[in-house]
Structures are given as C-alpha cells and as structure tokens.
Amino acid sequence: MVSSVIITIFASFLWAITNHIDKFLVNGASKSSNNIKTLLVFSSLVAGLLFAPIWLIFSKFSVGISLISLLFVFLAAIVYMLATYFYLKALDNNDASVVVVMFQLIPVFSYILALIFFNEGLSIKQFIGSIIITLSAIIISIDIENKNSKAKLKPLLLMMLSSLSFSLYYILFDFGIRNSSYNSCAFWFQIGFIIIGLIFISIKSFRNMFVEAIKLNGKKYFSLNAVNEIINLVANMLVNYANVFIPIALANVLNGFQGAFVFIIGVIGVKLLPKYFNENLKLSVIMQKIFCIVLSIIGLIVMFI
C-alpha cells in the first residue's frame, strides 16, 4: 500500500510538470498571437495520431465497440477538448499554481453530476468538503494586491467551466466503458481526437495559426507536446495501477498535492530558469497560494476520508 501511495503522489508530481509545460506553451513557446488555437490542434490531432496506435496495441488490435459506447466516447472527446480550451484560457496570463488549485473543483462537480445522472445523494462530509474546496478556489481568485479584482474572476469562471466539463467527460467515458472494453474505448477516444483535430484544421484561423507555429517553432511544439502527452499518459497509467491497491478515495486526496507541486516547481523554476517560468513571488501572494493549497487538500480529506 505504501508503494501505491508513493506512486500516486509521483503521478501528481508528473501532472504538475505538464501544467508548467502547458503554461509555457500558452505564453512562451512562440511569437504567435494565439497559441491556444495551435495547442488545441496539437492536443487533438497530433495527440490522437500519436496515441491511437498505442491503444491499438494495448487492445491487442481488438477494438470492437458498441454503437452506444462509440457515441458516448465521441461525446467524451468533444467535452474533453472543451474542458482543455477553458483550462488553457484560464492558464493564459495566470500563474499555473493558481489555476491548478481550482482544478480541485472537479470532484465537487463530479458529485453534483452523480446526483443528477445517478440519483446519488451528497453525504454531510461530501457537502462540507465541497464547500471548503469551493472556498479555496474563490479565495485564490481574489487579487489581494487590488490591481484588477474583476480580471481575477475570469480564471475562476473559466476553471469552473473546465472542471465541470472534465467531470462530465469522466461520466460520459464511464458510460462508454459499461458496454465495451476500456482499451477499445480508449482507442476510439483517440480517433475522436483525430476527427476533432481535422475539424480544427478545416477552420481557417486555426489552420493559419497552426502553420505559423510550425514555421516558427515546429520542432519545439512537436517535442514539447509529445513529451507533455507522454508524461500525462504515464501519470494516468500510474494512478490506474495504484487504484488497484489503494482506495480510489485515498488516490483522490493524494492527487490534491498536485497544486503544491505546481507551486514548488514554479518557485524553483523562477529562481533557476526565470526565462521559462512565471510565478508571482511576493510574500502576500505566496501566503495566499499556500493557504488555498492547504485548504483545498483539507477539503479533499473531508470529502473522501
């Protein structure tokens, strides 16, 4: 069990790395005026082309899937990309450590959706934990320097939409695997990404931004996105493995350390590689982030333990 706990915490560390790579790709990977459109193409078309063969091998080339599962999986892919868009928009011009704390809203929305779709009720602990996590997301969105309080509300709203979309994606994918195998659904999920990517490419503004990014920093985009997707895949596989030996509730709590890792990596990065990292290190802001990270972890503990 101890090794599974360590594995889960390490997965959170890997996800924290992907958050910083996302931040760099959004704000600093190229001179393009809209990196988000380019990233959406990479996150769909390129990721799909890269990982569809992997899941094809994992499924031992047995990718048969029922029509209802295929529908849910394709819907899950669409909702996942929508969640990614909201996340990238929130990440633009905001510290990664701020955005990731708001990701803890995912289990809150998951319980709400479970109440709607599965008629599951909220226990007192789940309700209190949800309130604590929501409070941490609100507090971290407050501009304590009073520069532009309204601007700080934007990432909160975007991350609420992103968390809601990711929660809905989990439910849709869960519906999909109820009638077909996980590996076959994962394969068709990547095919859904490829289709979405082709749709993006057919849109002139997306195509132009993608071509521009390739011309300016093609190798950087391909290498960073490939590394990012591989790290994300490894983290997911580690958590799936650990969940066999530890309760999923405990895994959810341990994943709450992702915000702490993002913050620590950001602080170290600003000190060692300021060209590639952007983190507000004013004492008041640091204390606000630490308080909200701890508060979100407490909320997860109350909710799941």
pLDDT digits (tens, 9 = 90+) for 196-209: 999 999 998 888 88
The three-state secondary structure class of 28 is: coil
pLDDT of residue 29: 56
Contact status, residue 98 vs residue 286, Cβ threshold 8 Å: no
Confidence of residue 7 (pLDDT cuts 50, 70, 90): confident
CA distances from 13 to 4, 8, 19, 142, 264 (A): 14, 9, 10, 26, 10
Q: Give the range among 141-145, 219-223, 246-250 with minimum mean pLDDT.
A: 246-250
Mean pLDDT in the chain? 83
pLDDT of residue 167: 87
pLDDT of residue 1: 64
The answer for residues whose C-beta is within 8 angstroms of residue 80's C-beta and 6 or more apart is 165, 166, 169
Confidence of residue 192 (pLDDT cuts 50, 70, 90): very high
Look at residue 149 and tell me whether its pLDDT is greater than 60. no
Phi/psi of residue 267, each to 5°? Answer: -65, -45
Neighbours of 287 (CB within 10 A): 11
Q: Which residue has the higher pLDDT, 304 or 227?
A: 227
Helix (H) or strand (E) holding 222: helix 204-242
Confidence of residue 305 (pLDDT cuts 50, 70, 90): confident
pLDDT of residue 13: 92
Q: Which residue has the higher pLDDT, 68 or 244?
A: 68
pLDDT of residue 39: 85
CA distances from 108 to 100, 132, 216 (A): 14, 10, 41
Q: Give the range among 29-33, 46-50, 231-235 with minimum mean pLDDT.
A: 29-33
State how far the Cα of 217 lies from the Cα of 59, in Å rounded to an integer.
Answer: 34
Q: Which residue has the higher pLDDT, 170 or 280?
A: 170
Confidence of residue 75 (pLDDT cuts 50, 70, 90): very high
Confidence of residue 248 (pLDDT cuts 50, 70, 90): low
pLDDT of residue 50: 84
Helix (H) or strand (E) holding 80: helix 67-91
For 93-105, what is the mean pLDDT? Answer: 81
60: left (phi over 0), alpha (psi -120 to 50) or beta: left
**In residues, how long is the chain?**
305
Contact status, residue 85 vs residue 36, Cβ threshold 8 Å: yes
Confidence of residue 144 (pLDDT cuts 50, 70, 90): low
Confidence of residue 32 (pLDDT cuts 50, 70, 90): low
pLDDT of residue 147: 60
Look at residue 22 and tell me whether its pLDDT is greater than 80. yes
Q: Which residue has the higher pLDDT, 220 or 292?
A: 292
The answer for residues whose C-beta is within 8 angstroms of residue 281's C-beta and 6 or more apart is 267, 270
State how far the Cα of 251 lies from the Cα of 269, in Å rounded to an integer.
Answer: 27
Contact status, residue 25 vs residue 39, Cβ threshold 8 Å: yes
Q: Which residue has the higher pLDDT, 108 or 291?
A: 291
Confidence of residue 84 (pLDDT cuts 50, 70, 90): very high
Look at residue 148 and tell me whether its pLDDT is greater than 70. no
Look at residue 179 and tell me whether its pLDDT is greater than 60. yes
Tokens of 61: 């080339």
Look at residue 31 and tell me whether its pLDDT is greater than 60. no
The answer for residues whose C-beta is within 8 angstroms of residue 116's C-beta and 6 or more apart is none
